[in-house]
Amino acid sequence: MKNPFVFGEAVSGSAFWNRTAEIKELTQDLRGGQNVIVFSARRYGKTSLIKTVLQKLAEENLITIYMDLYPATSKESFVRLYAKTIAESLGKPSTKIFSAVRRWLPRFLPKLVVDSTGKVELTFDLNNLRNFKDYFHELLESVHKRATAEKRNAVVVFDEFQEVTSYGDDEIEREMRSSFQHHHNVSYVFLGSKKHLFQGIFNDANRPFYRSGKHFPLGRLPDQEIIKFVTDRFQRGGLSLQPDVAQLIARESRGHPYYTQLLCHILWSNRSHHSEIVKKDLHLAVETMLKRETPGYQAIMDGLTLRMRQLAIALSQEETSTPYGENFLSKYNLGTASTVQRALVSLIQKDVIDHMEGHYQFQDPFFAQWLQRFVY
């Protein structure tokens, strides 16, 4: 049987965590025309969640468009990628689709090209489009015009939306907000994982997207949901879990979807001829995971200043709500409160530490374990 625990990619179907409440709420919001801002730490399953929701909405005849902004490193590449994404939402490249693209994007010059593998793709020649605002405005209006003409509602998703902050100014944001606020038949979803950048876009009163949608933070998974999920997956493969092992998996992963899947993937891969997974198997799986993740953790530590490393090590030993308090500073010899506050801000900006449930915690629960075991 194939390993049922999948990590490191967007998943769907039985491999996806059953975030029933989130799926229901998002589906209702988007069906009703609400703009939504979804944010969480990395590897929490945002992409898998929204793609599951888009599939449900597509079955209801809504136009659905998904765009990952990570490859878009400039305004121009944003335009090219969004135009390509919109074109692909119309169907496979063909003369008919070519005509549809010209209808909704008349300023653009689409071309059908054949790559080295024989695959036909649609690209755009933007060399003659000198006025950025003109063709960008047309691009932003295209989904709304199509939805109006077809008498359908639409949902457009921008994943990793915080990437727009690297474009040098807020022109993209201003133009998008100016157009989108009039699109009552299109719901826009903004996904982000770099919390300090992403929330700055929507929480800063001086930014164009201030208060432009419903905030939808995606949190950690409840222990009971993890226990149910992993127990069911192992049982389907003919494996049982020793009492308390499922609870220990939930405790070790601390509700993090990616690391729960990774830990269970290792457990499954390391299974012996025995039909029961015991606590010793779990301990060995954790050791295997920490060794596999060591190069990544070392790279993170190498990118930190001495004060940041010292604070990270201290927080791995003890979660606290006041890392700049006198007792914590003295116990771990961290220096002054102002020094720790600066280091803490930097660790948060680097997505190493987050403020959750009243305490400063590691976004990656196993990074804390790695520091405890391998760094002194």
pTM: 0.85
Rounded Cα gap, residues 321 and 120, in angstroms: 56
The residues spanned by each domain of the chain are 18-217, 221-300, 303-376
Note whether 18-217 and 303-376 share their fold. no
pLDDT interval class at 193 (50, 70, 90): confident
User: 279, 245 in Cβ contact below 8 A?
Assistant: yes
Residues 6+ apart with CB under 8 A from 343: 305, 307, 308, 310, 311
Q: SS3 string of 319-335?
A: CECCCCCHHHHHHCCCC
**Which CATH superfamily is 18-217 part of?**
P-loop containing nucleotide triphosphate hydrolases (3.40.50.300)
Range 221-300 has CATH code 1.10.8.60 = yes
Rounded Cα gap, residues 105 and 140, in angstroms: 10
- What 8-state DSSP symbol labels residue 222? P
- 3-class secondary structure, 76: helix
Q: Does residue 150 have a pLDDT over 70?
A: yes
Rounded Cα gap, residues 263 and 249, in angstroms: 8
Phi and psi angles of residue 94, each rounded to the nearest 5 degrees, phi first: -165, 170
pLDDT of residue 242: 86
| Helix or strand holding residue 268 (H, E) | helix 257-269
Give, in order, the Cα–Cα distances in Å from 297 to each of 16, 191, 309, 345, 348.
26, 25, 12, 19, 16
CATH assignment of 303-376, among 3.40.50, 1.20.120, 1.10.10, 1.10.287: 1.10.10
Q: Does residue 256 have a pLDDT over 80?
A: yes
pLDDT of residue 41: 79
pLDDT of residue 10: 59
Rounded Cα gap, residues 173 and 74, in angstroms: 13
